[in-house]
């Protein structure tokens, strides 16, 4: 499994946030939304873009956990939607072949 697949698989967020992001995924438009969230998106590869989204979402999650003033749940959901949607575009991770005897 690649590093980005491991990063995404390790994410643990409250179900309310995840469910809201899943619902909002139907309205996600990469061209429109990524331009607003990640202005450098056209210059980033798929994996680099995802790593950027993971980092930004983690920063938002830290703000949420700390109860910081200025935390925006709407912004957090926007990043989760982009992260989930872009992760869906990644090819499935390649598993190592098993050494089993028939």
List, for residues 24-45, the tens digit of each pLDDT value.
999 999 889 998 998 887 788 8
Token pair 């982009």: residue? 82
Residue 48: predicted pLDDT = 87
Q: Which domain holds residue 56?
A: 3-89
On whether the CB atoms of residues 49 and 85 are closer than 8 A, the answer is no
Torsion over CA of 27, 30, 34 and 36, rounded to 10 degrees? -50
- Asked if residue 8 is part of any domain, the answer here is yes
Is the pLDDT score of 101 beyond 60?
no
Residue 96: predicted pLDDT = 47
Confidence of residue 5 (pLDDT cuts 50, 70, 90): low
- Asked if residue 64 is part of any domain, the answer here is yes
Q: What is the DSSP string of 34-66?
A: HHHH-TTGGGS-HHHHHHHHHHHHHHHHHHHHH
- Asked if residue 99 is part of any domain, the answer here is no
Is the pLDDT score of 14 beyond 80?
yes
86 vs 11: which has the higher pLDDT: 86
The DSSP code for 13 is -
Q: Helix (H, G, I), strand (E, B), or coil: what is residue 95?
A: coil
- Asked if residue 22 is part of any domain, the answer here is yes
Mean pLDDT across the chain, nearest whole number? 84
Overall number of domains in the chain: 1
- Asked if residue 98 is part of any domain, the answer here is no
CB within 8 A of 9, min separation 6: which ones? 1
């Amino acid at each position: 499994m690649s590093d980005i697949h491991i990063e995404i698989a390790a994410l643990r967020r409250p179900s309310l946030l995840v469910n809201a992001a899943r619902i909002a995924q139907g309205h996600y438009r990469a061209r429109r939304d990524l331009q607003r969230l990640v202005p450098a998106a056209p210059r980033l590869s798929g994996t680099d873009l995802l790593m950027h989204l993971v980092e930004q979402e983690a920063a938002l999650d830290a703000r949420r956990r700390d109860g910081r003033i200025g935390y925006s749940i709407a912004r957090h959901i926007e990043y989760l939607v982009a992260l989930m949607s872009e992760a869906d575009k990644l090819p499935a991770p390649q598993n190592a072949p098993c050494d089993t005897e028939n």
